Structure 1
C-alpha cells in the first residue's frame, strides 16, 4: 500500500512461508480427494458428512460437495434417524449455512442448501403447530436480520420471497405487509434496487386482481414514491428502472405527458444526468406513439436531440443511442 514501508523478508522466512502454503495446499488436495472418493463410493456415513464440513469450511463454493452432503443426509442419515434426530441434523446444517453466509453472503449454493434443509424438516408433533411451522417462522426473522445487515443483497431478497411464500397460514405475510417492508427499506436507501424489484413482483400480482380505477390510484402513489427517489439522486439507476417499469405497466397519454413534464423539470435542474436524459428520451418516444402526427414529430425531434447528447456524455453506450436516434 502507498505510504507503508516494505519490510524485507529474509530468504529463510520466505522459504518457511512457501512451505507453509505448500502444506496447506497439500492438506486441501488430500481432503478434496478423500471427499470425492467417498462420493464416488456412495459413502453416506457420519464420517463422510464430517469430511464435507471440513472441505466446505475451506471452500463453500464447491457445489458438488453440497450436492453430496444432501445425498449423505437424504440417503444415509435421515432414513436411519428418528424424527427428533432429523430435526437436530437439519438444525446443525442451518447453523452451518448461517456461519458461511456471514462471510460469503452471495454464494448461491449456500442459499440452495438452506432451502433444502427447510423443505426436509419433518412435520413434528401436533396437528397445527409442529417443527416445520416453527422453522419457517424462525426463518423469516433470520432473513429480516440478514437484510438489516445488507439491505441490498439480491440473494437475500430472492430468499425472502421464497420464505414468505412458504410460511404456514398462521404466520402468513400479506402483500400489504411486504409492501410496507419494501417501503421502509427504500426510504432508508433509494438506491436499493432489490427492494424496488421486489416491489414490482408484489404490485404486479396485486394489480392483476384489482379494478382499473383502484390500480390507477395505486400507481399514482407509486409515481409519487419513485419521484422522491429520482429527485433525491438522479444519478442512481435503481429509481429510473422502477420508473420505466411503472410507466410500462399501462402507458396512457395523460400519464406520459405528466411524467415527461416532471422529467423535463428534473433535466433542467440536472442537465448532465444521463439517466434523466435517457428516461426523458424514452418517455418522449412513448408519448409520440400515442400523439397526433404533428405532436409526434416535435416529440421525436426532442428525443433525438437528447440521444445525440447522450452519445457524447455516455460514450460506452453511444452506439445504442446512435441506433435509436437514427430511427427517429
Structure 2
C-alpha cells in the first residue's frame, strides 16, 4: 500500500485547454508549485490542468500582478474550484483595480450560484458586488428564484435578509413568506425569516403582534405537529408580547381547544407548560394549581407522548417544583 493516500482533484476534460505553461503571453511568469512539505499526510492527485492553473495563480499573487490576464486566470481557477476563497478575494481586487463592469460580474457569479447554490464563497462574492454597487434591484427576484428550487437554502435566505435590512426593502416581504408557507407550512426557514420581519425595522406593535398570533394559530390548526410554527408562536409570545396576561389567555384558550379536540401533539403539551410557567412567574395567584397542571403535562409527555425524552420531562417537573415551591431548609 502506498505511503500516501491519493485522491483525484480537477479531473475535467483537458483536450480543449491550452496549458498556461504553453501560452506565449505567460512565458515571462515562473510558475510556483504547491509546497505540501516533505511529509504530506494526504497527497492529492491533482489533474495536470489543476496544477498548471494554480501554479500560475500562485505566481501572480506572489508578485501582486494586476492585469487582464490575471483576471482571466482567476476565472479558470474558479471553474476548477469555486469554493477557493483566495481566488475570489484576488478576483475582487482585480475587478476594482481594473475598473471592470460589476454588473457583468453579477452575471458571472450568478452562473456559479446556480451551479453551486450552497457554496458560501459565491454568495459572499455577490454580497460584496451588491455592496459596492449599492444597487439591490436584482437581488429579491434572484433569491426568490433560488428559493423556488430549494426553499430552505440557508445562503439564499441569508442574502435576502441582508439585502432587505441593508436597503430597507421590507415592503411585500410578509406576503412573500405567506406564499411560501401556503406551499409548505413546515418551512422552518420561512418561519424564521418571518420572525425577523416582526422585529425589524422596528418591533411590531401590539395590534400587529396579535394579528400575527392569530395567523400562527391558524397555521398550527392546519398541522398541529409542526414544530416550526409552535416555535414561532413561542417567539411571538416572549419577544413581542412580553407574556402579556391577555395574550397568554388567548393562546391558552386556543391550546385548550386543541387538546379538547383530541390533539396530542407533544409540541402543544410543551407549549402549555411554557404558558403555565409564564403565568407562575408573573403572579403568585393560582400558583399551586398551575404548578400541578404543568407537572401533570410533564408526566403525560414523559410516560406517553414524548417517551424518548422521558428523563428531560421528569427533570422539568422537578425543576418547576424547585422554582416555585422550594423546599424549606431545616435550621
1:264 to 256, 267, 272: 256
Summarize the alignment of residues 87-102 of structure 1 with structure 2, pairs less than 5 Å apart.
Answer: 87=101, 90-102=102-114
Q: Deviations over 1:128-165 (max 9, x none)?
A: xxxx6xx5323333233223333332322222233334
- Distance (whole Å) between structure 2 residues aligned to residue 53 and residue 301 of structure 1: 67
Summarize the alignment of residues 182-193 of structure 1 with structure 2, pairs less than 5 Å apart.
Answer: 182-193=177-188
Q: How many residues get paired?
A: 278
- Distance (whole Å) between structure 1 residues aligned to residue 71 and residue 302 of structure 2: 57
- Distance (whole Å) between structure 2 residues aligned to residue 275 and residue 309 of structure 1: 12
Change (3 A) 1:40 1:206: closer
- Distance (whole Å) between structure 2 residues aligned to residue 299 and residue 291 of structure 1: 11
Q: Deviations over 1:19-69 (max 9, x none)?
A: x79986443244334323332331232222222222222322222221122
Summarize the alignment of residues 104-183 of structure 1 with structure 2, pairs less than 5 Å apart.
Answer: 104-121=116-133, 135-167=135-167, 173=169, 175-183=170-178
For normalisation by structure 2, the TM-score amounts to 0.72
2:282 to 282, 290, 305: 290
Q: Deviations over 1:175-196 (max 9, x none)?
A: 4532222223223322222222
Match of 1:14 in 2: none
Change (3 A) 1:46 1:311: farther
Aligned residue for 1:280, secondary structure, equals helix
Of residues 106-115 and 256-265 in structure 1, the stretch that sits farther from structure 2 once superposed is 256-265
How big is the shift at 1:104? 1.9
- Distance (whole Å) between structure 2 residues aligned to residue 311 and residue 41 of structure 1: 66
Change (3 A) 1:66 1:289: same
- Distance (whole Å) between structure 2 residues aligned to residue 137 and residue 102 of structure 1: 19
Change (3 A) 1:298 1:68: same
Change (3 A) 1:267 1:47: farther
Match of 1:77 in 2: 98
| Alignment RMSD (CA, Å) | 3.0
- Distance (whole Å) between structure 1 residues aligned to residue 125 and residue 198 of structure 2: 29
How big is the shift at 1:282? 1.4
- Distance (whole Å) between structure 1 residues aligned to residue 259 and residue 192 of structure 2: 25
User: What runs of 5+ residues in structure 2 fail to find an aligned partner?
Assistant: 1-7, 13-43, 321-331
For normalisation by structure 1, the TM-score amounts to 0.73
Given that 2:139 and 2:160 are in contact with CA atoms closer than 8 Å, whether structure 1 keeps it comes out as no
1:42 and 2:74 aligned: no
Name the structure with the higher helix share: 1
- Distance (whole Å) between structure 2 residues aligned to residue 28 and residue 309 of structure 1: 61
Given that 1:223 and 1:243 are in contact with CA atoms closer than 8 Å, whether structure 2 keeps it comes out as yes
Change (3 A) 1:300 1:29: farther
- Distance (whole Å) between structure 2 residues aligned to residue 276 and residue 103 of structure 1: 41
Aligned residue for 1:327, secondary structure, equals helix
Structure with bigger gyration radius: 2
Change (3 A) 1:166 1:259: closer
